[in-house]
Amino acid sequence: SNPFEVKVNRQKFDILGRKTKNDVGLPGVSRSKAIKKRNQTLLKEYKEREKTNVFKDKRFGEYNTKITPEEKMIRRFALERQQNYGKKNIYNLNEDEELTHYGQSLAEIEKLNDIADSDSDTEEGGALSAELTAAHFGGGGGLLRKKVSSEQQDEEPEKPKSRKELIEEMIAKSKQEKQERQTRRESALELTEKLDKDWKEIQTLIARKTPKSERKDKEIEKPKPDEYDMIVRELGFEMKAKPSERLKTEEELAKEERARLQKLEADRLRRMRGIDEQANKKRPSHMSADDLADGFILDKDDRRLLSYKDGKINIENEEEEGEEEEEEEGEEEDNDNKEESQEESASEDEEDDAADSHSDLESDLESEEEAARDKEKKNKAAENESQNVEKLDPKSEAAESELPYTFAVPESYETFKTLLAERTIEQQLIILERVQKCNHPSLAVGNKAKLEKLFGFLLEYIGQLATLDLPELRTIDKLVLPLYNLCQMFPEAASDSIKFILRDAAHDLEEVIEVKGRATFPGLDTLIYLKIISLLFPTSDFWHPVVTPAFMYMSQLLTKCRITTLQDVVKGLFICCLFLEYVSLSRRFVPELINFLLGVLHISLPKKQAQGYTVVHPFTPVGKNLELLFVCDKDDLKSWEKQNVPLSIVTRLKETSKTEINHIRLSCLALCFDLIKKSAGLYESLPSFHEIMHPVRILLTQCVPVNEYPEKMQEWYHSAVKELENKVKHYTPLICEKKKPVPLKQYTPKLVKVLEFGRKQAGSKKEQERKQLIQRHKRELKGAIREIRKDNQFLARMQLSEIMERDSARKRKVKELLGSLATQEGEWKAMKRKKWKS
């Protein structure tokens, strides 16, 4: 381009191999570009700055360069047509009427007559017959005319015909011809139709395998297919059975089970130590081994429903499912089946498909497989067993048949209670099981929340059963199973509801302490809850959301509650048992437990000053509630037999005789001895075992009147003492863990190798990135500022030019006005002068 418009950026030094982008610039070009751009954008905006209405170009594809003009036109036309379609023109009155001719729509004729004739008339269409041409173009060449006339002359002797007659004749002829053609076509069409129909009939005959008698004629044509061939084909078409997993042998199953348990145990140990809590946070929640991650635990065993549906009933199932058939099968159950069938392994599905031909063999196979699977899944197996037991019992079976098969999850505790009211234990279990099955979370969206609520209801129900005058502990014993299953399904909800109960209980306790200054032991229901916690959750964890609060609560019970009656002692001892059970695996130290056992031993002694040991709260060395467990009746001592303490005495202890009470006292004492023995076994590894057991040992060896006890009691006593005595004393001085030495601070300068001069030596990658970002930001900021400045300049220029324009226009107008005035004045003066002259 023009060398005067080029600006060369001179380089101070030429460096080989360096590529520069901006060595030449075109300031003129770039400036004009920028101005043009501003004209298009900024100027437009500026001019429309106080206008709110906008001009919109709605023409289709006006600014779309991708579409060619032709296409654009077509599309626009189509759009127009679309817009007009359906709109009625109010001035076109007879739009709806159709013009007809011979009963045919004119429009249709217009469109179709060409097409209709095309296939039949093509051969003749091109060539016009001479007569026709002659008739139509009558006044043609003389030659033709001559010929016609000669013909006419030939016929003339018979009958000279007028022109009109001729034409009529011709028309009639052509009409006849046309009619003939039409009839021919119709008959052809009819024939093909008939042929089609016949063929169809024959086809069905061929396709169907008819008995020989019906299709003798055909068999003559076709040779009878070989039986062998048929079988071969059949086999070829049949679904091929894929190899399923090999059935596992007993040994392998046992091995697997062991591996699973080992893994779970290792997991438990890890949690017990509580060391790497953080490291393992990411691990998915602890699952039962049978958990399929879809919460599908319980309903496994209704796979039998499926097998029943498919028409091969296992003998075992027949009893139950037969009944079910009489009842109408609920929709839910159907759903269940579908659910199930989806979950079935593919191999089994195929077996089902192919089942028709050799069903007996198949079903055998399946039942075997089922058995194997049952073994695999311990969880399920237990359930199956319980079911089988139920089935054997004819009574319960009858009861089962009375129960409905589908249940909605009760919305409130009252409805839940009415659901279970007046039912036997077995029925209650069945109801619960069915409620769970019918409302499995995979069946509907809201089911999960419903079942979670069910857990709370069940818990409440158990509590209520326990608070009855005659606690139904046997029922609770059974109800624990569904509780466990529900807990496995919804651990979070279960833990929440149990925590809620615990919090309530602890709150009550605290309130009682604040009001009365002392607390009493809670009812049997709370004890049962504490027991249930140990069944549902692992108690050996270092920290557990449910178990740790339970520990705290039990500790409060053992330290805060007053011991005033024998029932209190029994409750306390039950909690001691729970404590021992909780820590049986983790061997954690529970000071309250030892304190309580010491206190219990203390109140079994005849009243005298404690020597060599001190009892702590809630027991007092002196006071009124001493000798609660003290038995002095010789006969009762003699007749005592160790028996398990029935839990129901916790709620009622009235009608029992004095001897019985004494026996219970002695049982408690024996229990206490046993607990001491057990805790001694647990804590023997603690470094200060002897200090912990010191008061108990002193009490046992110095104060207990052993010789007055019956022989059985002496056995208990001696085993406990033996456990305490025969531990070696073993002390090693403590040594702190070595601390890692902290390195001294160094003041030597940091040396960095310079690889390339001029380039920034960045430290880490992060640092580098940061620097890059800062630089880019700076550059962008500079550019933006420059742009804004230029915009402002441009605008100022525009405004200036506007003002100048306005000014010049005004000047011009003023000048014009003045000019016109001057001419007027001039004219007027001239007139005056004329007048003067004249």
Partner 1 sequence: QLPTGLYKKVLVILHDSVLPYMNEPTLMMDFLTVAYGIGGAISLLALNGLFILIHQHNLEYPDFYKKLYSLLDPSIYHVKYRARFFHLTDLFLSSSHLPAYLVAAFIKRLSWLALTAPPEALLMIIPFICNLFRRHPACRVLVHRPGGPADMSEDPYVMEEEEPSQSRALESSLWEIQSLQNHYHPDVAKAAAVLNQSLSEMEDDISGLLELSAYELFDKEVKKKAVDVPLEFEQVRGLFGKKNDICAEHFSLD
Footprint (CB under 8 A) of partner 1, residues 510-549:
510, 528, 531-532, 534-538, 541-546, 548-549
Candidates 106-114, 341-349, 552-560, 705-713: pick the segment binding partner 1 (CB under 8 A).
552-560
Q: Which one of 311, 322, 687, 819 is in contact with partner 1 (CB under 8 A)? A: 687
Q: Which is nearer to partner 1, 582 or 794 (CB)?
A: 582
Q: By CB under 8 A, is residue 732 in contact with partner 1? A: yes
Q: Which is nearer to partner 1, 645 or 795 (CB)?
A: 645
DSSP single-letter state for residue 355? G
Binding mask 572-591 for partner 1 (x = CB under 8 A): -xx--xx-xxxxx-xxxxxx
What is the closest distance, in whole angstroms, from the C-beta atom of residue 595 to partner 1 in the complex? 5
Q: Which one of 355, 506, 597, 713 is in contact with partner 1 (CB under 8 A)? A: 506
What is the closest distance, in whole angstroms, from the C-beta atom of residue 641 to partner 1 in the complex? 14
Q: Which is nearer to partner 1, 307 or 488 (CB)?
A: 488
Q: By CB under 8 A, is residue 468 in contact with partner 1? A: no
Q: By CB under 8 A, is residue 560 in contact with partner 1? A: yes
Of residues 599 through 628, those in contact with partner 1 by CB under 8 A are: 614, 616-617
Q: Which one of 298, 451, 480, 704 is in contact with partner 1 (CB under 8 A)? A: 480
Asked if residue 437 lies in contact with residue 299, where contact means CB atoms within 8 angstroms, the answer is: yes
Asked if residue 391 lies in contact with residue 397, where contact means CB atoms within 8 angstroms, the answer is: yes
d(CA 79, CA 811): 53
Of residues 485 through 504, those in contact with partner 1 by CB under 8 A are: 487-488, 491-492, 494-495, 499, 502-503
Tokens of 87: 């709109």
CA distances from 629 to 344, 609, 632 (A): 61, 16, 10
- In sequence order, which residues have a C-beta less than 8 Å from that of residue 806 and are 6 or more positions away? none
Q: Which is nearer to partner 1, 24 or 382 (CB)?
A: 382
d(CA 697, CA 677): 11
Binding mask 362-401 for partner 1 (x = CB under 8 A): ----------------xx--x-------------------
Place of tokens 């709605």: 58
Of residues 748 through 777, those in contact with partner 1 by CB under 8 A are: none
Q: Which is nearer to partner 1, 406 or 719 (CB)?
A: 719
d(CA 496, CA 505): 14
Q: Which is nearer to partner 1, 474 or 797 (CB)?
A: 474
Q: Which is nearer to partner 1, 306 or 546 (CB)?
A: 546
Phi, psi of 633, deg, nearest 5: -70, 120
Of residues 323 through 352, those in contact with partner 1 by CB under 8 A are: none
What is the closest distance, in whole angstroms, from the C-beta atom of residue 490 to partner 1 in the complex? 10
Candidates 25-33, 201-209, 320-328, 468-476: pick the segment binding partner 1 (CB under 8 A).
468-476
Q: Which one of 646, 705, 819, 826 is in contact with partner 1 (CB under 8 A)? A: 646
- In sequence order, which residues have a C-beta less than 8 Å from that of residue 318 and are 6 or more positions away? none
d(CA 388, CA 34): 90
Q: Which is nearer to partner 1, 423 or 690 (CB)?
A: 690
Asked if residue 524 lies in contact with residue 647, where contact means CB atoms within 8 angstroms, the answer is: yes
Place of tokens 């679309």: 82
Tokens of 210: 């008819």
Q: Which is nearer to partner 1, 506 or 721 (CB)?
A: 506
Q: Which one of 521, 553, 716, 717 is in contact with partner 1 (CB under 8 A)? A: 553
Binding mask 264-283 for partner 1 (x = CB under 8 A): x---x--x--x------x--
What is the closest distance, in whole angstroms, from the C-beta atom of residue 743 to partner 1 in the complex? 17
Q: Which one of 101, 212, 729, 837 is in contact with partner 1 (CB under 8 A)? A: 729
What is the closest distance, in whole angstroms, from the C-beta atom of residue 715 to partner 1 in the complex? 15
What is the closest distance, in whole angstroms, from the C-beta atom of residue 705 to partner 1 in the complex? 23
Asked if residue 704 lies in contact with residue 718, where contact means CB atoms within 8 angstroms, the answer is: no
Q: Which is nearer to partner 1, 290 or 350 (CB)?
A: 290
Q: What is the 3-state secondary structure (H, E, C) of 208-237?
A: CCCCHHHHHHHHHHCCCCCHHHHHHHHHHH
Q: 148-154, long-range: CB within 8 Å, 24+ apart, which pairs?
A: none
What is the closest distance, in whole angstroms, from the C-beta atom of residue 467 to partner 1 in the complex? 16
Asked if residue 546 lies in contact with residue 498, where contact means CB atoms within 8 angstroms, the answer is: yes
Q: By CB under 8 A, is residue 148 in contact with partner 1? A: no
- As beta bridge partners, residue 100 has 105
Q: Which one of 220, 392, 515, 736 is in contact with partner 1 (CB under 8 A)? A: 736
Asked if residue 416 lies in contact with residue 461, where contact means CB atoms within 8 angstroms, the answer is: yes
In three-state secondary structure terms, 170 is: helix
Q: By CB under 8 A, is residue 681 in contact with partner 1? A: no
Dihedral sign for Cα 213, 215, 217, 218, please: negative
Tokens of 435: 């409620």
Among 535, 677, 658, 530, CA closest to 594:
677
Q: Which is nearer to partner 1, 58 or 739 (CB)?
A: 739
Of residues 88 through 147, those in contact with partner 1 by CB under 8 A are: none
DSSP single-letter state for residue 410? P
Of residues 182 through 221, those in contact with partner 1 by CB under 8 A are: none
Q: Which is nearer to partner 1, 46 or 589 (CB)?
A: 589
Q: Which one of 139, 141, 243, 733 is in contact with partner 1 (CB under 8 A)? A: 733
Q: Which is nearer to partner 1, 314 or 534 (CB)?
A: 534
What is the closest distance, in whole angstroms, from the C-beta atom of residue 384 to partner 1 in the complex? 12
For 669, other C-beta atoms within 10 Å of its C-beta total 25
What is the closest distance, in whole angstroms, from the C-beta atom of residue 296 to partner 1 in the complex? 16
Q: Which one of 465, 476, 603, 713 is in contact with partner 1 (CB under 8 A)? A: 476
Q: Which is nearer to partner 1, 499 or 790 (CB)?
A: 499
d(CA 296, CA 303): 13
Residues touching partner 1, count (CB under 8 A)? 108
Candidates 71-79, 700-708, 722-730, 777-785: pick the segment binding partner 1 (CB under 8 A).
722-730
Specify the amino acid at residue 798.
Answer: M
Half-sphere exposure at residue 200, Cβ-oriented, CA atoms within 13 angstroms = 6
Per-residue buried b or exposed e for 193-207, using 16+ beta carbons within 10 Å of the residue's own CB: eeeeeeeeeeeeeee
d(CA 182, CA 170): 18
Q: Which is nearer to partner 1, 313 or 650 (CB)?
A: 650
d(CA 512, CA 307): 59
In three-state secondary structure terms, 274 is: coil
Complete DSSP assignment for 140-162 = --HHHHHHHHHHHHHHTTT----
Among 423, 420, 414, 425, CA closest to 435:
420
What is the closest distance, in whole angstroms, from the C-beta atom of residue 485 to partner 1 in the complex? 9
d(CA 631, CA 92): 120
Specify the amino acid at residue 176.
Answer: Q
What is the closest distance, in whole angstroms, from the C-beta atom of residue 379 to partner 1 in the complex? 6
Q: Which one of 419, 486, 563, 671 is in contact with partner 1 (CB under 8 A)? A: 671
Q: Which is nearer to partner 1, 181 or 270 (CB)?
A: 270
Q: Which is nearer to partner 1, 172 or 552 (CB)?
A: 552
Candidates 226-234, 357-365, 570-578, 775-783: pick the segment binding partner 1 (CB under 8 A).
570-578
- State the distance between the two ends of the chain, measured CA to CA, in whole angstroms: 75
Complete DSSP assignment for 686-716 = STTHHHHHHHHHHIIIII--GGGS-HHHHHH
